[in-house]
Amino acid sequence: MSKSLICSCEDVTADDVRHAVSRGYCDVESVKRYTGFGTGICQGKSCLSAVAALLEKEKALAPDAVVPFTPRPPLYPTELRLLATAPVDESVPPVGGVPQEVEVFASALRPTEPLPAKAKVVIIGGGIMGLALAYNLARAGETDVVVLERGYLCAGASGRNGGGVRMQWGTPALVELAKRSIDLMKGFARELGINVWLRQGGYLFMARTEAVARKLERNVTLHNRFGVPTRLVTPDAARDIVPGLTMKNCVAASFNPEDGVIFPWPFLWGYAQGCRKKGVRVETYTDVKGFEVSGGQIRKVKTDRGDIACDTVVLAAGAWSPEVAKLVGVQLPNEPHRHEILSTEPLKPFLGPLVSVLDSGLYFSQSMRGEIVGGMGDPKEPAGLNMGSTLRFVSRFAQALMEQLPQVGHVKVLRQWAGCYDVTPDNNPILGRTPGLDNLLQMSGFVGHGFMMAPAVAERMAQWMATGESDELFTRFNLRRFSEGSIEREDMIIG
């Protein structure tokens, strides 16, 4: 029985599912991610019901909590060159998407045990930011912390991103943070006992215009000042780094061999496990519904499982932060913007760096499992919490990818999905105290780069919270900067 295969595409056994359950990953979405079942060619068609039956039989979940995972297009593995033929009208915004609604979680998934009546720190959002901060607080000795997550771990952008980690930024603050994060990532497996599959194959940024090429050139000087070995490369040298790359319409590129990619999910699990080991409560399927405020302080956080009295609240709800902030009368300037992404069937290793055309936002890399993972922003995408996948995206992406790497036209797309960037007016995060409500700390607005910033930002924020020592990061990126007009825009944004 222990060896009986439940998902033949991804080699998942019944015991793998039991192992996931033993680690607390009991719902279908979490088991899918923790074991990999349903992520292969059949997309769950031959294994979803078997996993559901096993979860019910093992009493891991109540029968009405056994709900299928969100289906991902395309229905069948489909070649990129075929997808590229779907017509796209670039003059109109994208409409719709699959699924049409933002995930609603079955109430049967809500844990039945009571929440603690009080905690020193309540963190709203169990994405990379909330979990990394909770872990770092616990590491600094503060374990009276509760993380509240409305869905499963990985439900937000942290479970939907491309896993790119790069030091190639346009402003000193982000270069420094990313550099520190990548250093911390190197020690993550040792510290947290989980493999995040960090692969430092570099990032190759391509420029189509002289203006963008000049930006890359300016960045090289900045990066080198911080000890980041970025260099400007000619189109020919770029083709040596990525054989088969056409560099069509590109005039220059920059390359930092120390950038790379990671696999996002184990990162979240590693932090969550680290939190729990240190006594921090990480409460999934727990939705924050409101606040009790008096004397200019938040006294209680109200959830669908009851209230928690607290000294400090951290808002780390990613693209949902503005709507949560509104519950306490705080206006944030962030806007959610859908970004779509896809993954292909696995190929033998052929692609070293993550490659990006800065002008169009196209990016693609090869994961450690061999898949091409990539995305491209859509300038017509309206603001809004939309996480649906469109044919328009795969078509635009396939065309742009095949322009640079024509030989992948026959490769099949297995899965596409979407998440929301949490976009601020200057593409920089919102951190630190909230004017007028200073026990509400902000930790949002990470646009398309929160994953790679999280280890360093969380480390600094925990230190700042635990010691009360001043740190210019929390002044520089304070919400106040928008009303005071002291903003420095980050423009190395892709996706």
Place of tokens 């892709």: 494
CB 150 within 8 A of CB 109: no
Task: For the segment 370-409, give every residue that binds ligand FAD (CB under 6 A).
Answer: 375
Q: How far is CA 59 from CA 53, 54, 114, in A?
A: 10, 8, 20
Binding ligand FAD by CB under 6 A: which of 161, 219, 367, 416?
161
Interface pattern 305-324 for ligand FAD (x via CB under 6 A): -----------xxxxx---x
Interface of this chain with ligand FAD, residues 330 to 369, rule: CB under 6 A: 339, 341
Choosing from 149, 258, 371, 490, the residue that interacts with ligand FAD (CB under 6 A) is 149
Minimum gap (Å) between residue 339 Cβ and ligand FAD: 4
Binding to ligand FAD by residue 127, rule CB under 6 A? Answer: yes
Judged by CB, which is closer to ligand FAD: 14, or 164?
164
Nearest to 55 by CA among 105, 103, 6: 6
Q: Is residue 187 within 8 Å of 181, Cβ to Cβ?
A: no
- Give min distance, CB of 290 to ligand FAD, in A: 9
> Least distance (Å) from ligand FAD to the CB of residue 192?
17
Report, in Å, the least distance between residue 327 CB and ligand FAD. Answer: 8
Torsion on CA atoms 166, 170, 175, 181, rounded to nearest 10? -40
Listing DSSP states for 215-247 in one string gives HHHHHHHHHHHTT---EEE-HHHHHHHSTT---
Smaller CB separation from ligand FAD, 320 or 397: 320
Rule CB under 6 A: choose which of 83, 129, 177, 314 binds ligand FAD: 129
Minimum Å gap between C-beta 266 and ligand FAD is: 14
Looking at 1-9, 34-42, 440-448, 476-484, which segment touches ligand FAD (CB under 6 A)?
A: 440-448
Applying CB under 6 A, the span of 1-9, 10-18, 433-441, 450-458 interacting with ligand FAD comes to 450-458
**Are 295 and 438 spatial neighbours (Cβ–Cβ below 8 Å)?**
no
Q: What angle do CA 265, 271, 274 make, to 5 degrees?
A: 135
Nearest distance, CB of residue 43 and ligand FAD, angstroms: 19
Interaction of residue 446 with ligand FAD, rule CB under 6 A: yes
Residues 6+ apart with CB under 8 A from 457: 129, 132, 177, 181, 429, 431, 443, 473
Of these, 6, 157, 376, 457, which contacts ligand FAD (CB under 6 A)? 157
Q: Which residue has the tokens 């050139």?
A: 217
- Residue 260 near residue 198 (C-beta atoms within 8 A): yes
Please choose, from the candidates 494, 148, 106, 435, the residue with its C-alpha nearest in 3D space to the C-alpha of residue 288. 148
Helices (H), 234-329: 235-241, 264-277, 321-326
Dihedral (Cα; 104, 340, 83, 40), 10-degree rounding: -60
Helix 172-186 to helix 210-225 angle (10° resolution) is 60
* Span 228-287, contacts to ligand FAD by CB under 6 A: 287
Query: Which one of 21, 54, 128, 408 is in contact with ligand FAD (CB under 6 A)?
Result: 128
CB of 240 to ligand FAD, least distance (A): 24
Alpha helices in 375-449 (DSSP H): 391-404
Contact between 203 and ligand FAD by CB under 6 A: the answer reads: no
Query: Which residue, 73, 147, 18, 135, is CA-closest to 394?
Result: 73
For residue 125, the number of C-alpha atoms closer than 13 Å in the C-beta half-sphere is 27
Residue for token pair 């793998």: 16
Per the CB < 8 A criterion, the answer to whether 86 and 74 are in contact is no
Member of 34, 451, 474, 477 binding ligand FAD (CB under 6 A): 451
Q: Is 300 in the site for ligand FAD (CB under 6 A)?
A: no
Give the residue with the Cβ less far from ligand FAD, 15 or 287: 287
Q: How many residues bind ligand FAD (CB under 6 A)?
A: 42
Q: Out of 55, 148, 241, 431, name the contact with ligand FAD by CB under 6 A.
A: 148
Out of 38, 40, 130, 260, name the contact with ligand FAD by CB under 6 A. 130
Chain positions 95 to 114 lying near ligand FAD, rule: CB under 6 A, are none
* Complex with ligand FAD: residue 437 or 452, whichever CB lies closer: 452
- Closest approach, Cβ 373 to ligand FAD, in A, equals 9
Distance separating alpha carbons of residues 277 and 200, to the nearest angstrom = 29
From 69-77, 110-118, 119-127, 406-414, span contacting ligand FAD (CB under 6 A): 119-127
> Buried b / exposed e across 391-401, counting CB within 10 Å, b at 16+?
bbbbbbbbbbb
Question: Does residue 163 touch ligand FAD according to CB under 6 A?
Answer: yes
Binding site for ligand FAD (CB under 6 A): 124-130, 148-151, 155-158, 160-164, 287-288, 316-320, 324, 339, 341, 375, 419-421, 444, 446, 448-452, 495
